[in-house]
Homo-oligomer: A and B are copies of this chain.
Amino acid sequence: MTVVRSELKSLTREKAKWMYEKMCEIRRFEDKVHDIFSKGVLPGFVHLYAGEEAVAVGICAHLNGKDYITSTHRGHGHCIAKGCDLDGMMAEIYGKATGLCKGKGGSMHIADVEKGMLGANGIVGGGFPLAVGAALTAKIKKSGAVAVCFFGDGANNHGTFHEGINLAAIWNLPVIFVAENNGFAEATPFTYASSCTNISDRAAAYNIPGVAVDGKDAIAVFEAAEHAIERARNGRGPTLIECKTFRNYGHFEGDAQTYKSSQEKEKHLNDLDAISRFKEHILSMRLLSERELNDIEEKVEAAVENAVEFAEKSPYPDEKELLTDVYVTYQ
């Protein structure tokens, strides 16, 4: 179990509440999508974030509405942690007109630019340069915003990792690169595909701080993020945070996961579960009561049910939508 870090003043009651709620939302949302998908209702590819909640939530707990994030193909968790609307997300996954992207993007492209969520991304490694660009705007416009780039262990071998981090480093930009090392890229182990021992070790190649944390410990992530984001906001440049984590489901829905051992799966679904650990933690810190947590759980449950209902009742996009939004003025 996680050691109580009493010095963590920034983990206020409100923060803890928010974090618990968001973690539950992600878990519930993903479990639900998993169920619906297995019934054959949902179109396309879906990559679920369940199991990795502590990362998105521990990081985004420090962000405000002006801050930016870039995400991945496994983007639902980042969206929720950045405050995207559950109804709009679920509708998007259904391909409905009421979706956050009017149904045109789908699971792999959910975005809410107004909220600083610059999009899930179907291209592995696509987010690095995009995070740099948002941070460049922040720096030039002196907005005080930071940009967080979430990426997987697989993405850490793509050329954009190198180009993006180097750019952020030489321009001293407020970017936090957050590796979600869940051990696998599809069916390929991190240990096979990456020559580094830890992704965070690669930070040295750019003269920026690199830290590795237990990514299933929301408080550890929260703490690491706090330092990094403060640093970035104070104009001291980028940080690379590696969060060691695990995805509860397969790479995408339908993956038998033969490449994972059953002990590993077992352990992560039970003892190491991020939400139970966070719960225990805040209970033992007496930040929130059992009762309060239950209330949150119920609220979340209802919100997700609601989102599904909303999505199912929503209409599909109008035919004319095929040709809108290609250009600001379609030609």
Q: A162 CA to B204 CA in the complex, in Å?
A: 14
- With CB as the reference atom, state the residue of chain B lying closest to A202: B205
Among A104-112, A191-199, A213-221, A299-307, the stretch that binds chain B is A191-199
Which segment of A28-36, A152-160, A314-322 sits at the interface? Answer: A152-160
Q: How many copies does the complex hold?
A: 2
Q: Does A169 have its Cβ within 8 Å of any Cβ on chain B?
A: yes
Is the CB of A201 closer than 8 A to any CB of chain B? yes
- Taking a contact as CB atoms under 8 Å apart, the answer to whether B170 and A163 are in contact is no
What is the interface of chain A mostly: helix, strand, loop, or mixed? helix
Q: Within 8 Å CB of A197, what residues of B?
A: 207
**CB within 8 A of A195: which of B161, B166, B194?**
B166
CB of A163 within 8 A of CB of B158, answer yes
Q: Does A117 contact B (CB under 8 A)?
A: no
CA distance A192 to B167 in the complex (A): 10
Q: Is A310 an interface residue (CB 8 A)?
A: no
**Is the Cβ of B206 less than 8 Å from the Cβ of A196?**
yes
A165 CA / B205 CA spacing, docked (Å): 13
Contact residues in B for A159 (Cβ distance below 8 Å) = 158-163
Q: How far is the CB of A160 from chain B (nearest CB, A)?
A: 6
A192 CA to B170 CA in the complex, in Å? 7
Residues in A lying within 8 Å of B, measured CB to CB:
157-163, 165-166, 169-170, 192-197, 201-202, 204-208
A and B contact pairs by CB, cutoff 8 A, 17 listed: A157-B166, A158-B163, A159-B159, A159-B161, A159-B163, A162-B162, A165-B195, A166-B194, A170-B193, A170-B195, A195-B205, A195-B208, A196-B205, A196-B206, A196-B207, A201-B204, A204-B204
